[in-house]
Amino acid sequence: MGIDRSFLEKPVSEMTPDEYRLMILEPEKDTDHICWNCRHFKPVIKNSNFPPADIIGWCKKIHWPFYWCIPEHRIVKKCYAYEPIK
Amino acid sequence: MLIKQGKKGLDKKFERIPLEDQPGPKSQEEMDEMKMPYEEYCRKVFDVGNEFVKPTALKGIRWLSTTMYIFTPHSVTNLAELGAEVIKIEMPRMGDPMRHTSPFNEAYVYPLHDTRPMTGTGVACFNANVNEYYISMDYHREEIKEAFYTLVRMSDGLTQCYRPGTFDRWKQSYRYLQEINPRFISVWGGGFGYGPKIWGGSYDILGQAHAGLASITGFHEDFGGHPTKSTNWNIDWYSGTQITVAILAALLWRRKTGLGTKIEFSQVQASTRCLEYGVPLYGRFGIVRQRWGNWDTQLCVHGIIICGKSDYPNDKNPQLRDEARYVMVSAFNDPDFKELCNVIKRPDLYEKYKTHKQRVEAEAQVEIYHELEKWAADKSRSEVTRILKDAGLLAMPVYNDKEVYESPHFRQRGTVRWQADPWYGDAVVHSTYSAGLMSKTPRRKFWDLRPVGGDNVKIYHELLGIPLSTIKEWYEKTII
Amino acid sequence: MCDIIWCKKVKEDGTVCNTVNYLDPFNFWNWEGTIACAECGTVYYIHMIQGWMYRGPEEQPPGTKPDILPVYADKPLEGYVRYRPGVEGRTRPYLCLPRDIYLGVPDPRRFSIRGYPVRGWPNQPPSTGIAGSAGFKWEIEKLSPEVWQEFLEKKKKGEVRDW
Ligand SMILES: [Zn+2]
């Protein structure tokens, strides 16, 4: 993974709530988006067949009150709304 | 005739304009009306309580209703309340399945039919088949076919809800009926209509789910919310009304062309009509709408908050004791929001969110509504309403059925009233009269329901001229 | 998905509580706070995220006030003794409980809440004519004279109102 997800190595007792949530929501995709480490990100979870094939998840923030479908092949490297997970 | 010029001539000229073409009141009565203040004028025109002596807009229209449950029946009830003559056709001895779909299996009126003295008709049927004549008919039996076709020849249209192709197989679909009555309007209402799911059935909940309405109803996922359906069958009532609009348009079309038409209505698509800008925005930006629960995504403050104390703290009914605590509050423009912040003694909130753009942001809303509920935590719903109203802000309790029943607003406009059903007795009527709509040709309710086949003699004998002996025979053979 | 708290608290008499407290997903999907065992009242801290137990259950010192109660509880090792929803002080008050007058069985009514007759009880005397055809009047005086009498009594006593 291009983005730091090393928290997954930690035991659960040391994870923060955000980290724990991201562990539960095991994602389908693996990309270099900055979104993976952002609080406003909601990933497409593994083996869910319903969403379009070419998105990694949704952003709950930048288009509120809408979800923005984050395209897989448009790698977001910088975002004004980025807030790192705690 | 020549008109002479000059003063005298002018006088004459005015004399020649017929009274009804001249501007102004035409009679003493009309002059009085024109002088009246508006409120008084409205009361006089709409004349609540005297609906039964008013003209009916749809008098002369005869409609057949081969419908079930709420959705398609409601499309015809709208016509019947406005004066159309409607004949509801049900299965012999059984009736509309809605009769057997009563809340908590207990709220019944009796009898459904004399042959089944212990079976009632569920009150959930109320309001869905108002003012209709109830006959029974088993379409499968050859003996009754001619009677059905005679009804078609004598009627303006039919609403049905059977699976696509069923009426066609029974030779009762538009292409058969238009041959015996080219002015006939044939309506099908169901789940999906033609297309990939043509056999799919129709339910209100499907209508709420399939078109995307349920996905944006309920609280936001961040607050543990899930897609939610409305408790009652909103989309049934809503879809029925949409069909009524289509029927009225078809009647007008027929007046112009002399021809009937065929209408097909897919209930599961109906709620796309009330999805606002969600789908167009998807088309433009590829984004999907989030739920926002009891708040508003375009206005803040403009939502429902919970107060700490109930208005009925000692009532044994938990719906009153625990739930009569919600208030709708609106104060979104700058002066109103400033006043609201003053009222709750948090002027700093106004300093923080001075512009509407700032306070309509998600995080701002979370903070503002949280502060409002903190302020309301030691107050009852009526206290909160009173304080905010005194400050000149808009605040309304979230009413339940009991409070709608007691509200003077509903009583004054006649929307909620008591009326005895001629067959089933005393009942509160809350949907026919007005239901928001006032008119000089108002809706009215003569009866809510009739027993299964209650008008068999009236329709088969008095209207179609079928001898009573035949009717008795059909009844014995359960054809009717 | 429904998580549980299996209470293993050893009670004063030396027996183990062994009560399974059920945490329904609609309330506990994303939830942090304290919850009491329905049987022994021991208070536990839990923090659930996306329906999973992130922290807890951690036993809290006696006297801690619980934020919430379980939706229901049972004791599987003792023949499924149950605490149903809405047991006061043990399981969560069930706010959506249908009104106490909704019994799930027919509740025949003869009068509306304002005191006028309603044809709301079964086994009505037959009242239709040929082929089930019905008139436009419930001839209550003739069909159910006892209810009509009751109505007249009510009227005399002033129990019949306009609203
Ligand atoms: Zn215990």
CA B322/CA B308 separation, integer angstroms: 10
Please check the confidence at residue A1 and state whether its pLDDT lies above 90.
Answer: no
Q: What integer pLDDT is reported at residue B327 of this predicted model?
A: 96
Question: Reading across the β-sheet that carries C109-111, which strands appear in turn?
Answer: B417-421, B425-429, C117-120, C109-111
Q: Residue B79 to residues B177, B243, B272, B443, C53: CA-CA distances in angstroms?
A: 21, 11, 24, 9, 56
Q: Which residues are paired to B417 by β-bridges?
A: B429
* Residue C47 with chain A: CB contacts under 8 Å: 17
* Residue C134 with chain B: CB contacts under 8 Å: 423, 450-451, 454-455
Evaluate whether residue B138 is within a structural domain. Answer: yes
* Residue A24 with chain C: CB contacts under 8 Å: 49-52
Evaluate whether residue A1 is within a structural domain. Answer: no
Both tokens of B198, joined, read 């043509």
Q: What integer pLDDT is reported at residue C156 of this predicted model?
A: 97
Q: Touching check for A86 and chain C: CB below 8 Å?
A: no
Q: Which residues of C131-142 are buried (b: 16+ CB within 10 A; e: fewer)?
A: bbbbeeebeeee
Residue A67 Cα to ligand 1 middle (Å) = 43
Q: What integer pLDDT is reported at residue B1 of this predicted model?
A: 40
CB atoms near residue A83 (< 10 Å): 12
| Cβ–Cβ < 8 Å for B368, B300 | yes
CA B142/CA B134 separation, integer angstroms: 21
Q: What integer pLDDT is reported at residue B333 of this predicted model?
A: 95
Q: Is the ipTM of this complex over 0.90?
A: no
Does residue B85 sit in the same domain as residue B213?
yes
CA B451/CA B117 separation, integer angstroms: 11
The phi, psi pair for B119, rounded to 5°, reads -100, 130
Residues 6 or more apart in contact with residue B462 via CB below 8 angstroms: none
Q: What integer pLDDT is reported at residue B2 of this predicted model?
A: 44
Q: In chain A, which residue's Cα lies nearest the Cα of C56?
A: A13
Does residue B235 sit in the same domain as residue B317?
no
Domain residue ranges of chain C, discontinuous segments joined by +: 3-83, 109-156
Evaluate whether residue A77 is within a structural domain. Answer: no
| Cβ–Cβ < 8 Å for B278, B299 | no
Burial zone of B179 (CB within 10 Å; 0-12 exposed, 13-18 middle, 19+ buried): exposed
Better-scored residue on pLDDT, B115 or C103: B115
Q: In which residue are the tokens 């539960």 written? A: A24
Q: What are C123-127's contacts with CB under 8 Å, separation 24+?
A: C123/B110, C123/B117, C123/B118, C124/B110, C124/B111, C124/B117, C126/B114, C126/B117, C127/B111, C127/B114
Q: Which residues constitute the domain of residue B138?
A: 62-272+429-433+447-476
Residue C32 Cα to ligand 1 middle (Å) = 19
Evaluate whether residue A84 is within a structural domain. Answer: no
Q: What integer pLDDT is reported at residue B3 of this predicted model?
A: 45
Touching partners of B (3+ C-beta pairs < 8 Å): A, C
Specify the number of domains making up chain B. 3
Evaluate whether residue A86 is within a structural domain. Answer: no
| pTM across the whole model | 0.83
Helical H runs in B258-306? 267-270, 278-285
CA C150/CA C156 separation, integer angstroms: 10
Q: Which residues constitute the domain of residue A54?
A: 6-71
| Residuewise pLDDT in 10s, chain B (480 residues) | 444 444 555 555 556 677 677 778 888 888 887 788 888 888 888 999 999 999 999 999 999 999 999 999 999 999 999 999 999 999 999 999 999 987 766 788 999 998 988 888 988 889 999 999 999 999 989 999 999 999 999 999 999 999 988 999 999 999 999 999 999 999 999 999 888 888 888 899 999 999 999 999 999 988 878 899 998 899 999 999 999 999 999 999 999 999 999 999 999 999 999 988 888 888 888 788 999 999 999 999 999 999 999 999 998 877 788 889 999 999 999 999 999 999 999 999 999 999 999 999 999 999 999 999 999 999 999 999 999 999 999 999 999 889 999 999 999 999 999 999 999 999 999 989 877 788 899 999 999 999 999 999 999 999 999 999 999 999 999 999
- How many residues are listed for chain B in this entry? 480
pLDDT in tens, A39-79: 999 999 888 877 777 899 999 999 888 999 899 998 999 99
Q: What integer pLDDT is reported at residue A85 of this predicted model?
A: 87
- Cβ <8 Å between A64 and B286: no
Phi-psi region of B405 (alpha: psi -120 to 50; beta: other; left: phi over 0): alpha
Does residue B23 sit in the same domain as residue B123?
no
CA distance A39 to chain B (A): 11
| Cβ–Cβ < 8 Å for C83, C73 | yes
- Cβ <8 Å between A24 and C49: yes
Q: What are B442-446's contacts with CB under 8 Å, separation 24+?
A: B442/B46, B442/B51, B442/B54, B443/B51, B443/B81, B443/B82, B444/B51, B444/B52, B444/B54, B444/B56, B444/B81, B444/B131, B445/B81, B445/B130, B445/B131, B445/B419, B446/B130, B446/B131, B446/B422
Does residue B156 sit in the same domain as residue B103?
yes
Evaluate whether residue A82 is within a structural domain. Answer: no
- Cβ <8 Å between A25 and C50: yes
Residue A21 Cα to ligand 1 middle (Å) = 29
Q: In chain C, which residue's Cα lies nearest the Cα of A18?
A: C49
Sign of CA dihedral B63, B67, B71, B74: positive
Which residue among C107, C117, C136 sits closest to B426, beta carbon to beta carbon?
C117
